[in-house]
Chains A and B, each alone.
Chain A
Amino acid sequence: MDTAVVSWRPGVRKARAALILLALLLLSGHGLAAMRVVTTTTDLKSLTEAIGGDRLSVAALVPPGTDAEEYAVRPGDLRRVRDAQLVVRVGVDYDLWLDPLLLQVGNPALARGGAAHVDASYAIALLEVRGAAIGDAGGHAHGSGNPHYWLDPANAEIITGNILEALLRLDPGNARFYEQRRLDYLALLRTKIELWTRQLAPYAGKAIVAYHNDWAYFARRFRLNIADFVETRPGVPPSPAHLATLLALTRENNIRVFVREPQQPAPQIEFLAARASAQVALLAANVGSLPGTEDYVALFEVNIASLRKAFAAATT
């Protein structure tokens, strides 16, 4: 109303136009142009959001609780990748199904090696690098290394570093914002890692049996001894001889805790645990695959609480 009264004078009119223009500019710099990022897993989504906050709109392709290694691409994924300005992947042969998708979209920036393609595994110190498959030991078909590196929270520094580097290139205007948020997040993670290490310290070196070889990085960070796996070859049920070895191992090393993920089969683990009167800890390998694991920090909170509970119950 006020503007309607004063707008008779030409000078004020100019000023008003300039104000509107400024507002539009601010809007476009802020809410309108939230950069669209697509990640393959929910873990990378959580880490990207930790850096980008509301200036990024992040979508994960693989829904939580689904096996990312055997993911079947859906029509919606094609649209999501086509609209994306940045793609973040796990790498290490973990999300190979992304490549045909990128090929289909045909955007050279998003393709492998492009400016908007982040392989989060870059510069990570990988475990179980074989080059060629050496023997059957390890339970993985990945010659290039064990791909579950995000389960070491200290690796978040390298992962977020890789993401930040791409963000600085694509969106230099928000460089300071991203850098500061990453530093804050890493500081938070450092204090958390200290706490978690202290919480798991009493169980360092205690033997555990896991269903599948997903926990190598987690074990290295928190000094856990994962003595063996139920599934030694992906997708193949354990043989009687292996089950007998596991039973003997359980008794000889007094193993009292077994580890399983919600999407892994229960019968063998439950059978072994019942035989050894041991505890089964349900751990989540991905953000969102268990209740309460909404983000990357909560994922570790839940897993560590579950492990501590199992160890405490096993010792009493």
Chain B
Amino acid sequence: MNDFAMNDALTFLLPAATAMLMLVAVHLVFGLQVLRRGVVFADLALAQVAALGATVAFALGHPPAAAAAFGWSAGCALAAALFLSLLRFCPARIPREAVIGTIYVLAAAGALLIVEKSPQGAEHIRQMLTGSILTVGWERIARIAPLYAALSGAQIALSRARLTGAAGWRGWAGEVVFYASFALVVTTSVALAGVLLVFALLIMPAAIGVLYAERLPAQLAIGWAMGALASAAGLAASYAWDLSPGAAIVCALGATLACAALGKWLAGRGRRGALGRAARGLGLAVGAALAISAAWLIIAPRSDQPLLDTLEYAWPGVRWAYLTEREAGTFIEAEQFAARYRDEAEKLNALERRSRWQGNGLSDDELRALSSFAQSYGEMRRGEEFVMHEVRARARERLRWCLAGLACLGGLLLAGLPQGMWRVRSAASQPETPSSAQSFDTVSFRDASSPSSRVTLALSAASSPTVTSAPEPAAKDAVA
């Protein structure tokens, strides 16, 4: 990507990143309250009710940008907020999420029924619920920032005043204020960033904050820092790898939450040996994956092999290790022909595209001829791809016992090695009575270390369920 493209990208990536920082902050403030109340899906319900309001306005003949449309959608959302504030009086036998889910589906279904009577309304709803973070301009940020600041400031003040936790009518007033400001935030931000991103921003940074801190300021600081980091990473990844930005940020947030939870779990069991535990856990996971892959390779060598396929995708050189010279030759030839056919077809398509506005244009008969050539190239390419697939499948079928053996061996080493290291370390620090699971593991590990018995052990392990039972006691040990 050249400098020009980078500059172009910055003109919308900078506002998008700024908007994300703002969204992370405001959703964190409300997300902490949402988690505390256990009304995780309230945001979806409120956004859908606001969309219903906009649909009603549209059906009544108001243009989408009119004040009436905003009035309808804000009015409906506030009415729903008032209803949600009454949830505290709802009998305990009915979970709150049941009521929230009901509001959501009713609003969605109602909007659908209204839309059926007014065409073009469907797109209107979709636009209210799928904002695009990339097209946020500075003007829009400047317009929304004061609203967000005021609402989250009020929310923090409210929780400081201990109004939210109060009983009776005083507490209810607190609830009304919470849900009303929440409704305003959600309807604004869903139109800005879309339902997917708003839900993720509401839950995940708040969850990280709650995991690591007890007090509100610390929760806010940790949640915001992690949320901002994940958003930046997601946005950068979406630019670097050409991904949809909302989905990329949601995945980055999810990964951050997973790391945070894992870190908490490791740290929660004493600081000492946390690294060793992490290594052991990772070893067990990879070992189990290898063992399952080995079993799958033996059962169905010709079907998709996720692990082997991923390896080959990342390092195409892996396949030369198991293809014979002749097979490799066939494979390379088929690959080259497939690439050539694809290029030829692309060339024809580009020619047709240009001919629409350059030169004299193609006649219908010329176009038909060109299409049939392009189609033939497509068929021939598929033929070559079939050859590539078949060569690999046959080699895998031929070598499945050997490959599975290697995988099992690797799995055992990975699952066993860190554990052995861990035992040495813990034995040095404190005396420990070896459990039956550990002794089993040690035996298999020592057996595997003698080269002649390696393959036979791995083979018997792969064909019998012992291979899955091997990591199991160790996992039990880790949990205990």
Contacts and interface: CB of A to CB of B under 8 A. Distances in A.
Interface in B356-394: 356-358, 361, 364-365, 367-368, 371-372, 374-376, 378-379, 381-382
Interface stretch (B117-125, B219-227, B329-337, B425-433): B117-125
Contacts of B375: 129-131
Contacts of A224: 356-357
Given A134-B346, A243-B12, A237 B132 contact: yes
B357 A126 contact: no
A205 B371 contact: no
Contact of A266 (B127, B134, B381): B127
B54 interface: no
A306 interface: no
A271 B131 CA distance: 13
A242 B355 CA distance: 25
B245 A239 contact: yes
Contacts of B132: 237, 265, 267-268
A132 B381 contact: yes
A43 to B, nearest CB: 15
A34 interface: no
Interface in B83-140: 119-120, 122-123, 126-127, 130-132, 134-135, 137
Contacts of B352: 127-128
A247 B346 contact: no
B195 to A, nearest CB: 13
A236 B246 CA distance: 11
A220 B4 contact: no
A126 B137 CA distance: 40
Interface in A63-101: 63-67
Q: Chain B interface: which size bin? A: 35 or more
A240 interface: yes
A61 to B, nearest CB: 14
Given A125-B367, A130-B378, A132-B381, A263 B123 contact: yes
B214 interface: no
Nearest to A268: B135
B116 to A, nearest CB: 8
Contact of A134 (B5, B137, B342): B342
A244 B16 CA distance: 13
B122 A216 contact: no
A52 B403 CA distance: 69
B324 interface: no
Residue of B1, B6, B122, B375 with highest tally of chain A CB at under 10 A: B375
A64 to B, nearest CB: 6
Contacts, number: 143
A133 to B, nearest CB: 8
B242 A241 contact: yes
Contact of A239 (B123, B239, B361): B239
A163 B145 CA distance: 59
A131 B378 CA distance: 6
Contacts of B131: 267
Interface residues of A, number: 52
B248 to A, nearest CB: 8
A245 interface: yes
B244 A236 contact: yes
A134 B378 contact: yes
B311 interface: no
Contacts of B364: 125
B238 interface: yes
Question: B342, B364, B381 — which one has the most chain A CB atoms within 10 A of its CB?
Answer: B364
B11 A240 contact: no
Contacts of B239: 239-241, 244
Nearest to B354: A225
B210 interface: no
A130 B410 CA distance: 44
B243 interface: yes
B134 A243 contact: yes
Given A204-B357, A240-B238, A248-B5, A268 B134 contact: yes
Contact of B123 (A205, A240, A265, A274): A265
B325 interface: no
B379 A131 contact: yes
Nearest to A239: B242
Nearest to B345: A134
Nearest to B2: A248
A135 B356 contact: no
A155 B123 CA distance: 29
A63 B382 CA distance: 39
Given A244-B8, A262-B123, A263-B120, A219 B357 contact: yes
A152 to B, nearest CB: 10
Interface string A109-128: 00000000000000001111
Contacts of A205: 357-358
Interface string A124-159: 011111111011011000000100000000000000
A309 interface: no
A169 interface: no
Given A129-B371, A268-B135, A241 B1 contact: yes
Given A127-B367, A131-B375, A134-B342, A223 B123 contact: no
B235 interface: yes
A225 B12 contact: no
A135 B346 contact: yes
Contact of B120 (A65, A129, A130, A274): A65
A125 B135 contact: no
Contacts of A126: 371
23 contacts: A65-B120, A66-B119, A125-B367, A125-B368, A130-B374, A131-B378, A131-B382, A134-B346, A220-B356, A239-B239, A239-B245, A240-B16, A240-B239, A242-B242, A244-B6, A244-B9, A247-B8, A263-B123, A266-B127, A267-B135, A268-B135, A271-B134, A274-B137
Given A244-B12, A245-B5, A267-B127, 13 more contacts: A67-B122, A125-B371, A131-B375, A132-B382, A134-B346, A135-B342, A145-B371, A216-B356, A239-B239, A239-B243, A241-B9, A251-B8, A270-B135
Interface of A: 63-67, 125-132, 134-135, 137-138, 145, 204-205, 216, 219-220, 223-226, 236-245, 247-248, 251, 262-268, 270-271, 274-275, 289
